[in-house]
Amino acid sequence: MIRITDILDKIYDYNPGGDSDIIDRAYIYSAKAHEGQMRLSGEPYLSHPLEVANILADMRLDVESIAAALLHDVIEDTAATREDIENMFGPGVAHIVSGVTKLSGLSFSTKIAYQAESLRKMILAMADDIRVVLIKLADRIHNMRTLKYHGKPEKQVAIAQETLDIYAPIAARLGIFWIKYELEEIAFYYTLREDYERIDALVNKAKDEKENHIKEVRAALHEKMEEMDLKCEIKGRYKQHYSIYQKMISQDLDFEEVYDIIAFRIILDTIPQCYAAMGAIHSHSTWKPIYYKIKDYIGNPKPNMYRSIHTTVMGPKGERVEIQIRTHDMDRIAESGIAAHWSYKEGTKTDETTGELFAWISKLVENQESYNDPDEFLENVRIDLYPDEIYVFTPQGEIKTLPKKATPVDFAYMIHTEVGAQCTGAKVNGKIVQLTHKLNTGDTVEIITTKNHTPSPDWLNFVKTVKARTKIRAWINAKERERSYSLGREMCEKTFKKKNQNFNALIKSGQIKKVAETFGFKSIGDLIAHVGFGKLTPLQVLNKALPEFEKQEAKEDSILQKVVGRRKKKESTGIIVKGLDDILVRFSKCCNPLPGERITGYITQGQGVTIHRKGCLNVMKMSKERQIEVEWSGSFSESYPASIKVETDDRFGLLADIASVISKYKSNILNAKSETRDSGLGLFYFTFLVESSDQLLKIMSDIRKVKKVIDVKRIIQIE
């Protein structure tokens, strides 16, 4: 465990004149406040704030930040209050600790609502003091490093997914890439274990083959730099697993087609030396530069302050080599980002340049103030966190800033909501383009509108701005609500009539209004629409309005249960649907979810709830109004089909060896087939029953260890 003396030694090295007294006092206060508390790892709770403070000391932050790190959990997890912290450590430390503290003492309808409001609170606090988010990132790093101690896999996955969605992008936006990479790697392991293990196995195999290649390239670079009298440091590094995975997915590549698994970095003293080094590399007799791959981030820095030259050359054997060239200062900033500027000398003040670069935080606050739906808020934060921007012109020459890959529809909504809704076409630089056209910096955009035209749900598949997405979704939801209200009213009237009750009369009497309030709706219309959506049943409304019917139903259920065991039907799916009883549940064939994976439900009228994996592409296109919270039943054990593809070098007895691995886990094989390519590559396809995603991962991991197996992938189903 890190000791306070280790932290003080680090601070003394970079800030010998710093006030260590505040850190001593914060350590003693935290130790007393957390006394008797333990981490899930079995360590004293104090180990966590010490680790967080140590990370900030490595980032060379000021003493106020280190003190706040030691105290960051005391308001949330102990009897201490903000007033206590302010009285003992001053308003600066109290503000940071309060900003890092998650919401407590308030009730929220869902975990997503709680997560959204905690994030909103943090964003507002970091707009005042960026150190709030630096501590939050250090806190998340240590929590991710100890995530294995969370017993429940679904909890691990949820925390890891939040990390990928929110905290890794924030670290990237702040330019703190070492945090971004570490968060992504750990989160990748927990969210997509099978993909992580597959890439890990492939990278380890590739490392053995590429060691000589790395030595050859490094030697060639050293020779060329010495020839030009350029003193430098040369590093060769393997690309992170998550970066490889993203490239494979976004560009539809096989592992062997990802050429930049290894990247080389040349670090020099001055900017002129960087350009001289690039010229030297391009003049190498056996390397040919790929000119469209040259990126000069020294002349045109990224918004997060990243500066470097990137170039890619083609080697003598047709292999591509990616090289980054930068100064020592640029290398430090590339790793530390804003933390390199937010040193112990600067306290809470940023220079003008840094303030301008991070004006996006204020914009983030402005964009999120009006969103009440937690799902929408979280989605919009994710969109806002990605920094690449383009600059386009209106026909009048006014500049508009849009995210990279934005379309004419995004531009139209930026002009005005009505222009966006009535957009039917666009001209870019005088030529008519499709609405899906990706705009580029310097384009002049003219929007063609048609009166009374309405947005298309398909636009959600390609728009990139928060405003466009929000306005389109609002229009869709309004239309969905109209239809669902009509359907819900009809369903309620029929159900009530069957029970000899008049639904409209109960509305007039005020009884249904009371029911709406009981369920937490602002109006009767919202209640009826939710019945139409399928999120409530007419019978639930009736039972709340007239409790005597609920008692009668319970009595009838008890009799039926004794006769036919009717109640057991609900449990047979292994799925719990929030707020709905005895509803038909079926599993989607597009993603084949397994216990242990994060899931969501989609309400289909007349066909119950369809269960999908979260992140399924089909779910992303569905109306949010019809999505419903579902979870696996913890007390249920059933087997579900899973399919895999195994790539191998062909050898005798291989099929039997793979089948024996599956049988070892007592999984029943439902289907198996094989084929051999002309190249000698063997392909085996299996569908078998498993009880959880964890069991599937163990089977796949063991199959990878079988001699001559090259790769194992999960697939949706065997054709």
The catalytic residue positions are: 76-77
506: amino acid identity, one letter: L
Determine if residue 106 is left, alpha or beta; phi over 0 gives left, psi from -120 to 50 gives alpha, anything else beta: beta
Signed CA dihedral, 326, 328, 334, 340: sign only: negative
**Alpha carbons 217 and 212: distance in angstroms, whole number:** 9
**Alpha carbons 368 and 116: distance in angstroms, whole number:** 11
455: amino acid identity, one letter: P
In Å, how far from its chain's centre is CA 182?
Answer: 14
The owner of tokens 């007349």 is 606
Question: For residue 250, what are the contacts with CB-CB under 8 A and spacing of at least 6?
Answer: none
**Alpha carbons 153 and 145: distance in angstroms, whole number:** 15
Structure tokens that stand for 34 in this block: 């957390």
SS3 397: coil
**Alpha carbons 281 and 275: distance in angstroms, whole number:** 10
* 111-128 and 374-384 helices, crossing angle to 10°: 40
Structure tokens that stand for 587 in this block: 């599993």
Signed CA dihedral, 636, 637, 643, 647: sign only: positive
String of DSSP letters for 615-681: T-HHHHTS-GGGEE-EEE-TT----EEEEEEEEEE--TTHHHHHHHHHHHTTPPEEEEEEEE-TTSE
SS3 267: strand
Long-range contacts of 478-486 (CB under 8 A, 24+ apart): 480/533, 480/623, 480/625, 480/626, 481/529, 481/625, 483/532, 484/529, 484/530, 484/531, 484/532, 484/533, 484/625, 485/525, 485/528, 485/529, 485/532, 486/532
**Alpha carbons 429 and 393: distance in angstroms, whole number:** 10
The answer to whether 320 and 263 have CB atoms below 8 angstroms apart is: no
Half-sphere exposure of 41 (CA within 13 A, CB side): 14
- SS3 sequence of 156-199: HHHHHHHHHHHHHHHHHHCCCHHHHHHHHHHHHHHHCHHHHHHH
* 654-664 and 693-704 helices, crossing angle to 10°: 150
Q: Among 199, 177, 147, 153, which residue's Cα sits nearest to residue 59?
A: 177
Pairing status of strand 627-628 against strand 599-604: antiparallel
Q: Which residues pair with 428 in a beta bridge?
A: 431, 445
Q: Among 359, 360, 342, which residue's Cα sits nearest to residue 350?
A: 342
Q: Among 307, 340, 305, 330, which residue's Cα sits nearest to residue 14?
A: 340
Residues written for the chain: 719
Determine if residue 347 is left, alpha or beta; phi over 0 gives left, psi from -120 to 50 gives alpha, anything else beta: left
> In this structure, what DSSP letter does residue 444 have?
B
